[in-house]
Chain A
Amino acid sequence: MKYRYLLYIMIIGLLFSCKPELDEYAYDSGSADFSTYVSLGNSLTAGYMNGSLYRTSQLNSFPSILAGQFAKMGGGAFEQPLMEGEYGIIAGKLKLGYSTDCLGATSLGPVPDDGALDPIASIGKMVNNMGVPGAKSGHLLFPGYAQFNPYFARFASDPNATVVGDAMAMNPTFFTLWIGNNDVLGYGTSGGVGDTITSQTWFAGYVQTIVETLTSAGAKGAIANIPDITNVPFFTTVPPNGLVLNQEQAAALNAALGSLGFQFAEGPNYFIIQDASSQIGFRQMVEGELLLLTVPQDALKCEYMGAVNPNTGAPNPIPQQYVLTLDQIDQIENAITGYNATISAIATNFNLAFVDFNAILKEVEEGIIADGETLTTEFVTGNAFSLDGIHLTAKGYAYVANEFIKAINMKYGSNVPMVSITNYEALELP
Chain B
Amino acid sequence: MRKIITLTLLFALGIQVLIAGGYQVRLQGQKQTGIGLIGTPFNYGASSIFYNPGSLSFMKDDYSFSGGVSGIFSNVIFRAQNSDYEATTDNPTGTPFYFYGAGKVIDDMAVGIGVYTPFGSSTKWADDWAGRNLIQEISLQTIFIQPTVSYKLSDKIGLGAGLTIATGSVDLRRRIVPPVDGQFQMEGNTTAIGFNAGLYLNPIEKLKIGVDYRSKMTMKIDDGSTSFTEIPTALSDNFPASGNFSAELPLPANLDAGIAYAFNEKLTLAVEMNLVFWSAYDSLIIDFKENNEQLVDSRNPREYDNSLILRLGGEYKISDKLVARAGIYYDPTPTNEDYFTPETVSLNTFAFTLGLSVMPVEGLSIDLSYLQLEGLEDDRMYTPDNFGGTYHARTFIPGIGVSYSF
> Chain A interface (Cβ within 8 Å of chain B)?
3, 6, 9-10, 13-14, 17-22, 25, 27, 72, 108, 367-374, 376, 378, 380-381, 383, 395, 406, 417-420, 422-423, 425-430
Nearest chain B CB to A394's CB is how many angstroms away?
11
Complex contacts, B3 vs chain A, CB 8 Å:
381
Chain B residue with minimal CB distance to A24? B84
Contacting A13 at CB < 8 Å: which of B81, B84, B179, B394? B394
Q: Which B residues, 352 to 406, have Cβ-Cβ distances below 8 Å to chain A?
A: 352, 372, 374-377, 384-387, 390, 392-394, 396
Q: Mark B86-117, 1 if CB is under 8 A from A, else 0.
A: 10100000000000000000000000000000
Nearest chain B CB to A12's CB is how many angstroms away?
11
Are B178 and A9 touching (Cβ within 8 A)? no
Per the bound structure, the CA–CA distance linking A370 and B83 in Å amounts to 13
Are A6 and B350 touching (Cβ within 8 A)? yes
Are A20 and B392 touching (Cβ within 8 A)? yes
Q: List 11 A-B contacts (CB under 8 A).
A: A18-B394, A20-B77, A370-B387, A371-B131, A373-B178, A417-B82, A420-B85, A422-B133, A429-B235, A430-B232, A430-B233
Nearest chain B CB to A353's CB is how many angstroms away?
16
Q: Which B residues, 210 to 269, have Cβ-Cβ distances below 8 Å to chain A?
A: 232-235
Interface centre among B84, B178, B372, by most A CB within 10 Å?
A: B178
> Chain B interface (Cβ within 8 Å of chain A)?
2-3, 5-6, 9, 12, 73, 75-77, 79-86, 88, 130-134, 177-181, 232-235, 350, 352, 372, 374-377, 384-387, 390, 392-394, 396
**Given that A373-B133, A422-B132 are known contacts, is A25 also in contact with B79, CB under 8 Å in the complex?**
yes
Complex contacts, B350 vs chain A, CB 8 Å:
3, 6, 10
Are A372 and B134 touching (Cβ within 8 A)? yes
Chain B residue with minimal CB distance to A367? B2
Complex contacts, A20 vs chain B, CB 8 Å:
75-77, 375, 392-394
**Given that A19-B75, A427-B179 are known contacts, is A372 also in contact with B375, CB under 8 Å in the complex?**
no
Per the bound structure, the CA–CA distance linking A389 and B40 in Å amounts to 66
Per the bound structure, the CA–CA distance linking A425 and B181 in Å amounts to 10
Contacting B390 at CB < 8 Å: which of A3, A18, A22, A369? A22
Are B2 and A22 touching (Cβ within 8 A)? no
Complex contacts, A367 vs chain B, CB 8 Å:
2, 5-6
Nearest chain A CB to B302's CB is how many angstroms away?
16
Are A19 and B88 touching (Cβ within 8 A)? yes
Are B9 and A419 touching (Cβ within 8 A)? no
Are A10 and B83 touching (Cβ within 8 A)? no
Q: A373-B133, A373-B178 are in contact. List 10 more A-B contacts (CB 8 A).
A: A10-B352, A18-B394, A22-B77, A108-B234, A371-B130, A374-B177, A378-B2, A417-B85, A426-B179, A428-B232
Are B77 and A19 touching (Cβ within 8 A)? yes
Are A429 and B6 touching (Cβ within 8 A)? no
Complex contacts, A13 vs chain B, CB 8 Å:
372, 374, 394
Per the bound structure, the CA–CA distance linking A418 and B235 in Å amounts to 32
10 pairs of A and B residues whose beta carbons are closest in the complex? A372-B133, A429-B232, A417-B84, A372-B385, A20-B394, A426-B178, A25-B84, A420-B130, A20-B392, A369-B386
